[in-house]
Structure 1
Amino acid sequence: MKEESAISNASGNGLDRFFALTENGTDVKTEVLAGLTTFVTMAYILFVNPNILEAAGMDKGAVFMATALASAAATLFMGVFANYPFALAPGMGLNAFFAYVMVGSMGLPWQTALGAVFLSGIIAVIVTLTGLRELLIKAIPVSLKHAVGAGIGLFIAFIGLVNSGMVVASEATLVDLGDFTQPSTLLATIGLIIMAVFVAKGVKGGILISILITSIIGIPMEVTQLPANIISTPPSIAPGFLKLDLAGALKFSMFPVIFSLFFADLFDTIGTFVGVASRTGMIDEQGNLKRGNKALFADSLGTVIGSLLGTSNTTTYVESAAGVSVGGRTGLTSVVVALMFVASVILSPIALAVPGAAVAPALIMVGVFMASSLNEINFSDFSEAFPAFITAVAMPLTYSISYGLALGFIAYSVLKLLTGKGKEVHWVMYILTILFILYFAFIR
C-alpha cells in the first residue's frame, strides 16, 4: 500500500511540475473533472460533423474517425505545448461552409475543399509565427470582426432550418415554411424545443443530451435506424486520409475561399481565446494572452492536422469555458479531453446512427450563439453599421461566407473613403478591398 501511495504521489508531483498545477491554483482531481466537463459539452461534434460532411460526399465513418482523432491530436498538443485548458475540434460553421457552399454551391470536389482547408491552416501557422497575426487583427475594424461572427451564425442557422425541413424552397417567394407533418421535420422541431429548453436552463452538455434524446424519439417515428451494435471496431479512416487535392486548391480562383476560411477561423479563435482566458488569469495587465502565441500556434496546427486526416477546419471551442468554470486552469484539462476523444472511437455505431433531423437543431442553436455578436456593433455610427450589416446579411442571402466577407470589406473601405473618413481605414484593408474588387470584376 505504501509503495502504491508513493507511486501515486510521484505521478501527481510529476504532473504538478509539468503543468504547474500548484502555481495555477489547481490539482489533478480538479483538472480531470474539468476535462470531463468540457468533453461532455462538446462531444456533440462527433455526431454533427459526420452528418454535415457526408453531404459533401465524404464517407461518414471516415469523417467520424477524422473528427475524433483530429480533436484528440489538436487538443493534446494544446495541452502539452501551450499548457492551456482549451479543447479543439472541427468548427461548427466552417464545416457547413465546407459541405454546403464549397462542395454544394461551388461544385468543388471535397478533395479540393480539403486542400483549401490545409492551405488556410498553413497561412494561419505562418501568420502566427511571423507576427502578422497582430497586423491583421489591428487592420480589420472591430465592427467587421463582430459582423463576420454574426453572419456565420445566421448562415449556420439558415442551413439548419433548411436541413430540418422547417424552411423550403419556393418559386414565388424564394423560401417558405416547410411541412411539419413530415416525420423528419417534426422530429427536428421536437429536438429544437428540447435543445432550447436545456440551453436556457444552463444544462451542461445540453446540446449533446438533446441530440441523444431526439435520436431516441426518432426510433418509433422510423427516422432513427438502430445500429446492430453499440460498441464495435472503429471504422476505417482511409477514405478521407491524405486525400486532399492541393493542386486544385492552389488555383487563383480559390483565393477568396481560402481567405474566408482563414479569417473566419482567426476571428472565431481570437474571440474564444479572449473570452475563455479572461476567466483563467491568462490575460496580463496589457490585455495580452500569456503564452498566447503558443496557444494560437496549436490552434493553427489543428487545422493542418484535421485536413490531413480528412475533416474541415479544426478550431478552439468556446465550450472550453465549461471546464474552466469548474476549475480547469492548465493543459492537463486538455489532455483529459484528448483521451476522451480517443476513447470515443469505439462508439462509432451510436454516432453514425444519429439522423440528420437530430443534428439540424444544433446548427440552429450554434447560429443563435454566434449571432449574439451583433450586440457589439455600434449601430449609431452608420459608416460602421452599414458595412457590418452588409457582411452579416450577405452571408446567408448569398449562401457564401466569402461573398459576405468580400462585400463587407468593400463597403467599409469605400464608404469611409467617400465620407471623408478614409484615414480611419488601415492600409491593409485597402489592399484587401482592391483584391476583392478584382475578384468580382474578372474571376467570379
Structure 2
Amino acid sequence: MEKCFKLNEHGTTVKREVLAGLTTFLTMAYILAVNPNILGTVMNANGVFVATALASAIATFVMAFFANYPIGLSAGLGLNAYFAYTVCLGELAGEENPFTIALTAVFCEGIIFIVLSFFKFREQIINSIPQNLKFGISAGIGLFVAFIGMQNAHIIVANDATVVGLGSFSDLDMVLALVGLIIIATLVHYNVTGGVLIGIIVTWIIGMILQATGVYTAANLFPDFSQGLQLGAISETAFKLNFGWAATHLIQFIAITFSFLYVDLFDTVGTVVGVADKAGLLDKDGNLPRVGQVFMADAVGTTCGALLGTSTVTSFVESSAGVAAGGRTGLTALTTGVMFLVSIVLSPLFLAIPSFATAPALIYVGMLMLMSIAKVKFDGDIADSVGAYLAVVMMPLAYSIATGIMFAVLAWVILKVVTKKAKDISPIMWVVFILFALRIVALVANFQ
C-alpha cells in the first residue's frame, strides 16, 4: 500500500483511506438509483444499472492507480439527463433505438478526451474558455437537473395556461419528494455522512410504509428479488454503438458529440480542482500535479461506459466528503471502486427505488451546481455577462443543456466582435462558434 499510494508522504493511513473511500461511496451511491431511473426512459434499466456500476469501478480504479487521487467517478448528473431527454427523446425522436446513437457520441467523446489528455491539449482548451461562461454553464446545468427532479416527482407539471405549473398536493409522489428534500437538507446541515443516500432511502421507506397501510397505491415500491439479479440485462446495453447513423448524419452527430464533450470539460475540471483544493493537493501556483492522469481517468471511464451502456462518466463533487473524512490518496478511490463492484449484487434493491425518492437528490445536487452563479460577474464585460446569463436561463427553459451552451458561446463571440474586442476570442472559441453555427444551419435545414 505504501509503495503504491505513498501513504506516509501524504500523512495518512490505510484505515483512514478505507473509511474515506466508504464515505465517498455513500455520498455518491445515489447515482446507482438515479441513473437507471433517468436512462431507463430510453434503455433497459437493469442493464444501465450494471453498466453504471462497472464503468464507475473501472474509472475510479484508473484514478486510484494512475493518478493516485481520492476522487470517485460515475455517470454525471446533467449529462445523463441530456443523454436521455434532450438527445434520445428530443433530437433523435423517431429514430430506431436512439440510445445507440447517443452511446456512439459518448464513445467518440471518450476517445477524443483520451487523445487530448495524452497530448495535454485538454488543459489548453480549459484555459481558453472564458471564466464567466464556465460558471454560467455550471449554474445552468444545476437548474436543469433540479427542473428534471421536480418533473419526475410531479412537483412541476405541464399546464396549458402557463406551459408549466405547480403539481397537486393530493399527489403523494409530490408530497413524498418534498419531504425527502427536507430530510436530505437536514442531514447535510448536521454533516451526516451519506446524507443524500440516506435521504433517498428514508423517503423510499416512508413510501413503502404508506403502501403497506394502503395509502400509497400508484406503484409497487418493494424490491423484487424473485427474478434474481438480472445481470444478463447488460447484454441489452453493452456494445450497442451505431456508427452507420453517425456517418449519414455527420453534422448532427458532431454537434451532439461536441455538446457531451463541452459539458464534460466543465464538470470534470471544476470538480477536480475543487476537491484537490479542499484536500490541499494543489501546488503553490494553484495547479494540480498529474492533472493529465486525472483527465485520463474520466476519459477512459467515459469510453468504457459507452461500450457498457451508460452516459458520460465524470469526477464527482461528492468526493469532497471522502476528503473531509481524511482521504488523500488513490487508496480512497480504490475503496470506492470496490464498493461499486459490490453494489452489483444488490441491483433489485437499487432498481426498486421510485422517482419520488431519487428526485430530492436531483433537486439538491442541482442546488449545489447552481452555487456557481455567485462567481459570475454581471457588472463587467457585456459579452461575459450575456453569455453566462443565456447559459443559465436557456438550459432549463429550452430543456436542453446543449442549447444553453450554444446560445452562450454564440452570444459571447458575436458581442466580442460587435464591441471591437475580437482579439479576446481564442482560436479554440472560434472553432466552437463555427461548430454551433453549423448546428443552427442543420436545424434550419431539418425544419424546412
TM-score band by shorter chain is over 0.9
1:329 aligned counterpart, secondary structure: coil
* 2:320 aligned partner: 321
Q: Which moved more, 1:231-240 or 1:47-56?
A: 231-240
User: Match for residue 40 of structure 1?
Assistant: 26
CA apart distance, 1:412:
0.5
Q: Runs of 5+ in structure 1 lacking a partner?
A: 1-14
Q: Which residue does the alignment assign to 1:18?
A: 4
Equivalent of 2:71 in 70, 86, 97: 86
- Matches of 1:245 and 1:68 in 2, distance apart? 23
Partner of 1:214: 203
Match of 2:240 among 240, 243, 251: 243
Pairwise mapping of residues 38-437 of structure 1 onto structure 2 (< 5 A)? 38-56=24-42, 58-106=43-91, 107=93, 109-219=98-208, 220=210, 221-222=216-217, 223-229=219-225, 232-233=228-229, 235-236=231-232, 237-250=234-247, 251-381=250-380, 382-437=382-437
What is the letter of the counterpart of residue 206 of structure 1? G
How far apart, CA to CA, are the structure 2 residues paired with 1:70 and 1:148?
Answer: 25
Q: How many angstroms does 1:198 deviate by?
A: 2.0
TM-score, structure 1 as length reference: 0.93
CA contact (8 A) 2:53 2:343 kept: yes
Segment of structure 1 superposing worse, 281-290 or 393-402 = 281-290
CA displacement at 1:424 relative to structure 2 = 2.0
Contact 1:88/1:299 (<8 A) preserved = yes
Aligned length: 429
1:35–1:333 Cα contact (<8 Å) kept: yes
Identity over aligned pairs, percent? 46
Distance 2:84 2:220 in 1: 22
Question: How many angstroms does 1:295 deviate by?
Answer: 1.4
Are the structure 2 counterparts of residues 302 and 127 from structure 1 closer, same or farther at C-alpha, using a change threshold of 3 Å?
same
Q: CA–CA distance in 1 between the matches of 2:30 and 2:6?
A: 31
Tell me the amino acid that sits aligned with residue 62 of structure 1: G
In the TM superposition, residue 118 of structure 1 has moved relative to its aligned partner by 0.7
Structure 2 stretches of 5 or more lacking a match? 211-215
Q: Letter of the 1:303 partner, please give it.
A: T
**One-letter amino acid of the structure 1 residue matched with residue 58 of structure 2:** A
Give the stretch that moved more between structures: 225-234 or 116-125.
225-234
1:86–1:331 Cα contact (<8 Å) kept: yes
CA contact (8 A) 1:71 1:90 kept: yes
SS of the equivalent of 1:218 reads: helix
Greater CA drift, 274-283 or 399-408: 274-283
Secondary structure in 2 matching 1:25? coil
Is 2:152–2:355's contact at 8 Å kept on the other side of the alignment?
A: yes
One-letter code of the match for 2:222?
A: L
CA distance in 2, matches of 1:241, 1:309: 4
Look up the equivalent residue of 1:153 and give its one-letter code.
G
Q: Which residue matches 2:213?
A: none
* C-alpha distance 326-386 of structure 1, shift in aligned 2 (>3 A): same
> 1:230 Cα deviation (Å)?
9.7
TM normalised by structure 2 equals 0.92
Listed one character per residue, the Cα deviations across residues 167-196 of structure 1 (whole Å, up to 9, x for unaligned) are: 111222111111121122222222222222
